[in-house]
């Protein structure tokens, strides 16, 4: 259950990761700790996110 950090005014959802919830960030870090091949996977993931953001923008505006 996400709680509110009043001082920062944003959700601190990472503080309340449920049991059996792997945690999105915790999944990504595992690629990086898997050595060179893992870093390549993480880089590919972030590259795809970047590309998809630029691809989406024109359609969002239209």
Partner 1 sequence: MTIPHPGPAGRPAPSDTDLRAEPGSFRDPANRIFHAGPDVLRALDETAAAHWRALAGSAFFPPLMAAGKVCGTEELPAQAAPANWAALLRHERIPFVSHPYEWSFSMLRDAALLHLEILRAALPAGFTTKDGSAYNLQWRGTEPVFIDVGSFAPLAEGEPWAGYRQFCQTLLYPLLLGAHLGLDFQPWLRARVDGIEPDQMARLFKGARRFLPGVPTHVHLHGRAQRRNADRSTAAVREQLRDAGYSRELALASVRGMEKLVRRLEHEPPASHWVDYQRTCGYSEADRAAKERFVTAALTSAGRGRLVLDLGANDGRYSRIAARHADHVVAVEQDPAVVDRLYRTLRGEGERRVLPLVMDLADPSPGGGWRGVERASFAARAGADTVLALALVHHLAIGRNVPLPEVVGCLAELAAPGGRLVVEFVHPEDAMARRLLANKPDGIFPDYRRDAFEALLAARGTVEDRLELPSGSRTLYRVALGG
Binding residues for partner 1, per CB under 8 A? 11, 13-15, 17, 19-35, 37-38, 40-42, 44-45, 48-49
The answer to whether the CB of 31 falls within 8 A of the CB of 38 is: yes
Q: State how far the Cα of 27 lies from the Cα of 60, in Å rounded to an integer.
A: 29
Least Å from the CB of residue 9 to partner 1: 15
Least Å from the CB of residue 32 to partner 1: 6
Q: Please state at what angle helix 36-61 crosses helix 24-32, rounded to 10 degrees.
A: 130
Closest CB to partner 1 among residues 6, 33? 33
CA 49 to mean position of chain CA atoms? 10
Least Å from the CB of residue 2 to partner 1: 9
């Amino acid at each position: 259950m996400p709680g509110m950090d009043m001082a920062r005014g944003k959700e601190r959802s990472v503080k309340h990761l449920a049991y059996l919830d792997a945690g999105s960030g915790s999944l990504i870090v595992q690629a990086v700790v898997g050595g060179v091949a893992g870093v390549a996977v993480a880089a590919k993931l972030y590259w795809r996110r970047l590309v998809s953001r630029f691809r989406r923008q024109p359609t969002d505006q239209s």
